[in-house]
Amino acid sequence: MFEYEFMRNAFVAGGCVAIVAGIAGFFLVLRGQTFAGHALSHVGFAGATGAVLFGLSPVGGLLAATVFAGIGMGLFGDRLAGRDVAIGMVLSVALGFGMLFLHFYTSYAAQATALLFGNVLGVSANTLWTLAALALASLMAIIVLARPLIFASLQPELAEAKGVSVRLTSVGFLMIVAIVTAACVQIVGVLLVFTLMVGPAATALRLTNRLKSAIVLSGLLAICYTWLGIALAYYSDWPTSFWITALSGFTYLITIMSQRIMRPLAITES
């Protein structure tokens, strides 16, 4: 399968996006902001379709909308926590606006399908460089922000007392999540961003209690799901996003079941 350029592009693009999605997703899960992160993808869909309507780049519109929404969510800080209904309404309205924009410019329906469900096998050389640049920039930003982000996530009051700006850290992190979300949309689509942003992190946190190990494991799991999903899609002719989602969900399910089976055994042995 590596004889084809589109397959080589898919593996490189998928790997670049997956590793940064797994790492950023770990902090999303740690901070309890997974639903807010999912809302960014829907806002991005509206931005992408709106950009197409006005003759602009859909990737540019997607990125601009997600970053703007990420900044807004970061400024809300702790007030965003527990607002599931409000966030749900925002993402629903954003998705509705995206469909409205498509109604006025139906010739781009194929692009809308790719945005909703992803199309990693259709990544061009230019898009590949864009995704690689976004992934590298996001990864470097996470490295720079990692220490205050961990501090603010685990002990926000103490971090504030030590001079760490919790709100500024939140804004910076959600800007990173916005960029990563825009990159993930190219791989799994708007509707399945949770697959790469949450699935690997949730599994990693169940497999280890060590912070650094969980971060690394989350990134590795995301890469494994993506590469294996692309390979299975090539040989089965089923959608890549389905395989990635199935692998992520199946691994998480197996992890939960294994822990539930092992827990009674451990109690019996003790």
- Look at residue 187 in the predicted model and tell me its pLDDT: 78
- Look at residue 227 in the predicted model and tell me its pLDDT: 94
Please tell me the total count of domains within the chain.
1
In a domain, 219, yes or no: no
Query: Looking at the predicted structure, is the pLDDT value of residue 193 above 60?
Result: yes
In a domain, 243, yes or no: no
Highest mean pLDDT (candidates 45-54, 73-82, 135-144) = 135-144
Q: Predicted confidence band at 44 (pLDDT cuts at 50, 70, 90)?
A: confident
In a domain, 217, yes or no: no
- Look at residue 197 in the predicted model and tell me its pLDDT: 85
In a domain, 245, yes or no: no
Q: Predicted confidence band at 84 (pLDDT cuts at 50, 70, 90)?
A: low
**pLDDT tens per residue across span 205-220:** 988 888 889 999 999 9
| Residue carrying the six token digits 């990737």 | 59
**pLDDT tens per residue across span 6-29:** 899 989 988 988 999 999 989 988
Query: Which CATH number is 68's domain given?
Result: 1.10.3470.10
In a domain, 19, yes or no: yes
- Look at residue 204 in the predicted model and tell me its pLDDT: 93
In a domain, 135, yes or no: yes
In a domain, 214, yes or no: no
Structure tokens at 170: 């939140």
pTM across the whole model: 0.82
What domain range is 63 assigned to? 5-194
Q: Write down the mean pLDDT value for the chain.
A: 81
Q: Predicted confidence band at 267 (pLDDT cuts at 50, 70, 90)?
A: very low
